[in-house]
Amino acid sequence: MILPLLVPLALEAVLGASAHLPLPVALAAGGAIGIFVLAFTARERGRSRHA
């Protein structure tokens, strides 16, 4: 339940740090966060359908 609140904070930290990172590293970090959010969404949707 608290995880959706932590994801924007993590995204903010990555975006703030991305100003000092090379573009490929920033894009890879953004992609990793996107994949995590998609996996979390899929897991939560599966849980709500089975409950």
Look at residue 12 in the predicted model and tell me its pLDDT. 80
Look at residue 32 in the predicted model and tell me its pLDDT. 94
pTM of the predicted structure, to 2 decimals: 0.56
The per-residue pLDDT of the chain, averaged, comes to 82
Burial of residue 11, with CB atoms counted within 10 A of its CB: 0-12 exposed, 13-18 middle, 19 or more buried: middle
Structure tokens at 51: 């409950």
The Cα–Cα gap between 31 and 11 comes to 11
pLDDT (tens, 9 = 90+) of the chain, 51 residues, equals 677 888 888 878 767 767 788 889 888 988 998 999 999 999 988 877 665
